Structure 1
Amino acid sequence: MYQSTNNLLLWHQKRYLTCIDKFEHFSENLNLDKVTYFIITTNKTDKYIFVEQFCYNVDGYIYSILFKGQTAQHLCYIIFQLNQLNIAISTTHALYLGRELMKSELTLVLDQQYIQD
């Protein structure tokens, strides 16, 4: 189980690195947060939701924090109630994250593919 989780995380990171390149050239209207942003993925086999918060440090390097849970409610509790975010986010960003977590949980229940907006 531990090895498969590590492989999933490596695959998740590799997949994300591919998407960064696409985001840079995707649209001039795409407005990413300059301080922090989130990538949400799901694992349909184990029914888990992964939320990775990417932050920029003072030197401009990116680091990330990974949250894992099976429900949107559990992840919102960990992230917001236990105040586990490294950087404060706006209310708009928090509402977006909550909406995407609910959408990701619903895709697991309905056995569908999750695509983050």
Structure 2
Amino acid sequence: MYTNMLLHLSTLLNKQQKQYLIDISILNQFSYKLVLDKSSYFVIKINSYDKIIKVEQCCFNNSGQLYSIFFTGKTAKSLCHTILTKNHLNIILSNDHAAYLGRELIKSELAVLLDQKYIQD
């Protein structure tokens, strides 16, 4: 399924986005418990100087075009609330993806508080 999607979207996606789709396909083959969303993914970064967490939600519309929604905040709690309670363009996250997002936002907040490097899983 992802292979067909990847071929269809190959002209629209950059190398990292193509690799993301391949990685989802591999993870779904080996992990029956983890269900990743096919319509969006998150890129989380921190700005240690300003003590800010930046989240980019990358989404694919029905025609395969990529668009992004950006969020910034100082705490994992505020970002989770904003991302999960606001219905941004009708993007619905699975429970697994929401749990993953929460875990990663906590890690990013701790990295900001402890002045450490943040690496997203």
Fold conserved (TM > 0.5)?
Answer: yes
Q: Post-superposition shift, 1:46? A: 0.4
Q: Post-superposition shift, 1:84? A: 3.8
CA 21–91 in structure 1, closer or farther in 2 if over 3 Å, else same:
closer
Q: Which has the larger radius of gyration?
A: 2
Distance in 2 separating the partners of 1:71 and 1:49: 7
Distance in 1 separating the partners of 2:40 and 2:23: 19
Q: When the two structures are aligned, how many residues end up with a matched partner?
A: 101
* C-alpha contact (below 8 Å) 1:39/1:53 kept by paired residues: yes
**Residue 31 of structure 2 corresponds to which residue in structure 1?**
none
Structure 2 alignment gaps of length 5 or more? 1-13, 29-35
Structure 1 alignment gaps of length 5 or more? 1-16
* C-alpha contact (below 8 Å) 2:37/2:94 kept by paired residues: no
**Local SS of the residue matching 1:42:** strand
* C-alpha contact (below 8 Å) 1:47/1:108 kept by paired residues: yes
**Residue 29 of structure 1 corresponds to which residue in structure 2?**
26
Q: Post-superposition shift, 1:35? A: 0.8
Q: Post-superposition shift, 1:80? A: 1.7
* C-alpha contact (below 8 Å) 1:79/1:85 kept by paired residues: no
Normalising to structure 1: TM-score of the pair?
0.73
Normalising to structure 2: TM-score of the pair?
0.70
Q: How does 1:103-114 map to 2 (within 5 A)?
A: 103-114=107-118
**Local SS of the residue matching 1:29:** helix
Question: In the alignment, residue 58 of structure 1 is paired with which amino acid?
Answer: N
Residue 115, structure 1, aligned to residue 119, structure 2 = yes
